[in-house]
Amino acid sequence: MDNNSSPQQTVLARESPQVVSELPTLGGIIAALQAKGDYYGLIQAAERADLVAHDDHLTRLLIAVPLVLSYLIVNDLPSAKFALLRIPDAVASVPLAQATLKLFASVWERRYENIFSRGEALSNLARRADHLQEDLAELIAGLVGTFIESFRQRTFVLVSKAYTTIPLSLAQVYLGLQSDHLLRVTSSEGWHFDAPSQILTPVRIARGTEPSPASSTLLMFEGVTDNVARLET
Amino acid sequence: MASDSLPTPPSTTLTPTPAAAAAASGSQSATDALTPATGLPPVPTATAAATAGAPTAPPTHAETLEGLLQQIVASNSPSALAGTLRIAVGTPEAREEVLVSTTSTGADPLEALDVAQHTIGALYILSARLTSASTTAPAIPFAYIDNFCRHFDPEQARLAPERVTLLAKGIMQRAEALGTDKAAIAPLHDLLTRYPPDLSFLTPIHPIFVTTCATTSFFTAALPVLAVPISQISTTLCPDLRYQDHLIYHYVGGIVFTALKRYAEAAEFFELCASAPVAPPTGGTSVARGPSQGPLGISMGGIGIGMGMGMMMMPPGPGSRYFNFSSSDPSMFQVEAAKKLLLVQLILHGKASTQALPLPKYTHPIVANLKGTVYNALARVYPNLEQVHAIAAKEAAAFALDDNLGLLGLVVDRAPRWAIRRLTETYLTLSLSEIGRAAGMEQIEEVRRVVLSMIEEGEIDASIDADGSVSFADEEPAAVSKAETDRALRTAQEQEQVLRRLEREIARSKDYLQKAVRSREEGSSANWPNIEEDLLGGSQGGRWADEAVY
């Protein structure tokens, strides 16, 4: 578990009045996109804002954190990495940036044992920040929550696919859940649990669970043969 | 942001000086004749005044500028105005000096121009101001540049293509001077997406834009542009297009995709650069630039991709090597692209072009031949962990010299995964510890992490038991949904249409027809296969010469 911040630390120790005046607009746009679940739209808006944000300004950080979290939600880790690396050195030492970096590093290296605790730490840090506006704090916490849930979902599918049997303790690490909660979830998904050995047997998710392609239409067949014939002549 | 923009008052606010007014009314003896192209009075010049034996002093820059402004505002023929501005004020140097000046009242001339209506005039003044060394010209806020690039009239801008290239370079220079290179990305993007009819046309803005995205780590900003394959080269649209623009664009594009771990696209871009036809000799027009300058005269340091991705935008070594067109040797961009391609192929396929993925047969032999290099040595032993580590350690300096140390790190990190993948060809079941031994990993948990990651990425089809044994299965064919099938078919049909259109255009091109007729006249059917080769790398190659436009 991480203990990456103290209660005394504040996120916006060097906040300037200009930051506060600019934030509601951008924060409002980002919040609206988040509410719609439009994370690609959020990424686009934040990327645009990052292009014009001043380097020596904490606004850049308050753009970068939602941007990184959105990239994590859509599972685009290289882009998240560069959004983080663009944070200027002067701002990178701020606790909010540090907490985001730690969460990203755990995801990048697939350190499952740290991911959930670091996500929680980032949420708590945003909510505790004295100078962070309440709606922005909630926005960041909301994005962290969405990421953790989406990551858990992806990991659940991965474990189902990758393990024929798995110790309960290891499944807890992967999914970041207490044993009773995990057993309820896995039971509802049809997993078998052998209590004496503490072994879970996932319901295997095979590749190719998607419906097979429907029969091609005659029109499609004609299109393909026509194209092939033209390219070969 | 909008408050930083220059105001755009009506043109009537412009008050010409007496000299300019006289010029505009055509009252001076030396300027009696109207400019045929515009139907407007010509701009007074010092030469003209001297020739006329005028007793008064030659017009000042401000007065000449006001005369130009009158023409710009009054013109209703953008093409005629473009022609006038191209030859205005005598020499290009004198024209640029005038364009960076202010009016006699000290007003900024751009204030008198509407960006959309007076695109040609604003383009000339803006590009001159952004690239001028003059310290007296009023500064241009970036908001004005943004506004211009968002609202200029593309049809008008295409009448002065060389000024568009100058503007792109000026935007980059201004952003660099302000210490905020990233500020150039949005206006360059607008300029690039609005200037050509569509993004399939290569322009000199392409390499400037992707280079800016890469040097500022805004890699994703380049993706929408990189997603459109280049299929159109128009020297009418871009007469100042240089041969190396295409090389730089695809080379840097490859770096962008590599940074984003999109290795298949990276390999495609590096291959496009490496296998491009080699520019022919152009009679000593080589351009030598120092190693501190990039291919576009833009300072490009290491892009600091970080996390093991330290790659330079500019291939290492003396800058002149990349622009030496006095021989038919390939550009060093191509040689460097071939090296990067080999490393990317090792990551992507576990083997390289020297083994099973050859470069196209038309690749220049100097580019294609990496025998005797550390790259070939690495490819030969890959993914044998012991030997890979040995070469990486022994030859680190050689890779560093090519600025490929970061990429080498990725290749080395990837080797255990390829070692594990090869196990699947031989074994049905192995324990995690056995896999660890084969892949050079001591910690069981590390092996578990890598195997799980490989399953997640679809690199292997395997399942792990609670006791730590791993069963490998034959790779199942990828499941494809109907929607994906339809999408792939649509893409194939679109590509087929593009190919058909290109084929039609080539078939009716003057160059192609001339070659075809000549071949027929010579009665040698054996020449036919060489027609396209000649067109690409032969006598017409001079069009690609690195010419100084100004």
Quick: pLDDT tens for A60-104.
778 899 999 999 999 999 999 999 999 988 888 888 999 999 999
H or E element at residue B158: none
Q: Which of B218, B255, B429 to mutate to test the interface with A (most CBs of A within 10 A)?
A: B218
**Tell me, what's the pLDDT at B506?**
82
Structural domain that includes position A173 = 163-232
Written out in words, the top-level CATH class of the domain with range B424-476 is mainly alpha
Token pair of A197 as six digits: 């050995």
Domain count, chain A: 2
Q: Which of B215, B347, B496 to mutate to test the interface with A (most CBs of A within 10 A)?
A: B496
Distance separating alpha carbons of residues A89 and B75, to the nearest angstrom:
51
Q: In this complex, do A207 and B476 lie within 8 Å of one another by their Cβ atoms?
A: yes
Using alpha carbons, list the distances in angstroms from residue B231 to A221, A228, B198, B368, B530: 28, 21, 10, 24, 21
Tell me, yes or no, whether A109 and A28 share the same domain: yes
**Tell me, what's the pLDDT at A210?**
45
Tell me, yes or no, whether A125 and A78 share the same domain: yes
- Residue A158 belongs to a domain: no
Distance separating alpha carbons of residues A151 and A68, to the nearest angstrom:
14
Residue numbers in A near B186 (CB within 8 A): 48, 51-52
Q: Which of A106, A125, A151 is the last residue of a domain?
A: A151
Q: In this complex, do A231 and B185 lie within 8 Å of one another by their Cβ atoms?
A: no
Q: Are B472 and B428 in contact (CB under 8 A)?
A: yes
Tell me, yes or no, whether A124 and A13 share the same domain: yes
- CA of B127 vs chain A CAs: smallest distance (Å): 22
**Tell me, what's the pLDDT at B108?**
87
Q: In this complex, do A162 and B464 lie within 8 Å of one another by their Cβ atoms?
A: yes
- CA of B269 vs chain A CAs: smallest distance (Å): 19
Tell me, yes or no, whether A63 and A174 share the same domain: no
Q: In this complex, do A110 and B453 lie within 8 Å of one another by their Cβ atoms?
A: yes
Token pair of B347 as six digits: 């990551």
Out of A52, A110, A224, closest to residue B489 by CB: A224
- Residue A224 belongs to a domain: yes
Q: Is B487 on the interface with A (CB under 8 A)?
A: no
- Residue A138 belongs to a domain: yes
Token pair of B329 as six digits: 């040797």
pLDDT beneath 50, residues of chain A: 1-21, 209-214
The b/e string for B507-532 (b: 16+ C-beta within 10 A; e otherwise) is: eeeeebeebeeebeeeeeeeeeeebe
DSSP state of A73: H
Beta bridge partners of B429: B471
**Tell me, what's the pLDDT at B358?**
76
**Tell me, what's the pLDDT at B91?**
85
Q: In this complex, do B486 and A230 lie within 8 Å of one another by their Cβ atoms?
A: no
Q: Is B483 on the interface with A (CB under 8 A)?
A: no
DSSP structure string for A100-123: HHHHHHHHHTT-HHHHHHHHHHHH
For residue B184, the chain A residue with the least C-alpha distance is: A51
Using alpha carbons, list the distances in angstroms from residue B315 to A108, B246, B267, B295, B326: 29, 15, 17, 10, 19
Tell me, yes or no, whether A36 and A147 share the same domain: yes
- Residue A140 belongs to a domain: yes
Q: Is B468 left (phi over 0), alpha (psi -120 to 50) or beta?
A: left
Which pTM was predicted?
0.78
Could you report the predicted ipTM of this complex, rounded to two decimals? 0.80
Distance separating alpha carbons of residues A27 and A34, to the nearest angstrom:
10
pLDDT beneath 50, residues of chain B: 1-52, 283-313, 317-326, 525-550
- Residue A157 belongs to a domain: no
Q: In this complex, do B221 and A86 lie within 8 Å of one another by their Cβ atoms?
A: no
Tell me, yes or no, whether A173 and A125 share the same domain: no
- Residue A177 belongs to a domain: yes
- CA of A138 vs chain B CAs: smallest distance (Å): 27
Token pair of A120 as six digits: 């929680």
Strand order in the sheet with A166-167: A166-167, A199-201, A192-194
For residue B488, the chain A residue with the least C-alpha distance is: A224
Tell me, yes or no, whether A181 and A223 share the same domain: yes
Tell me, yes or no, whether A176 and A107 share the same domain: no
Q: Which of A125, A151, A177 is the last residue of a domain?
A: A151
Sign of the dihedral defined by the CA atoms of residues B37, B42, B47, B52, in that order:
positive
Token pair of B159 as six digits: 């009448």
Over its C-alpha atoms, chain B yields an Rg (Å, rounded) of 29
Q: In this complex, do A199 and B466 lie within 8 Å of one another by their Cβ atoms?
A: yes
Tell me, yes or no, whether A204 and A113 share the same domain: no
Q: Which of A99, A123, A151 is the last residue of a domain?
A: A151
Q: Is B183 on the interface with A (CB under 8 A)?
A: yes
Residues of A with CB under 8 A from a CB of B: 47-48, 50-52, 55, 78-79, 81-82, 85-86, 110, 158, 161-167, 197, 199, 204, 206-214, 216, 220, 223-224, 227, 230-231
Quick check: helix, strand or coil at residue B313? coil
Tell me, yes or no, whether A38 and A116 share the same domain: yes
User: Where are the domains positioned within chain B?
Assistant: 34-42+58-216, 242-276+300-316+330-418, 424-476, 485-535
**Tell me, what's the pLDDT at B361?**
84
Q: In this complex, do B182 and A230 lie within 8 Å of one another by their Cβ atoms?
A: no
Tell me, yes or no, whether A167 and A113 share the same domain: no
Residue numbers in B near A162 (CB within 8 A): 451-452, 455-456, 462-464
Sign of the dihedral defined by the CA atoms of residues B315, B317, B320, B322, in that order:
negative
Distance separating alpha carbons of residues B200 and B182, to the nearest angstrom:
24
For residue B475, the chain A residue with the least C-alpha distance is: A207
Token pair of B199 as six digits: 């993004």
**Tell me, what's the pLDDT at A115?**
97
Residue numbers in B near A163 (CB within 8 A): 463-466
**Tell me, what's the pLDDT at B370?**
83
Tell me, yes or no, whether A139 and A170 share the same domain: no
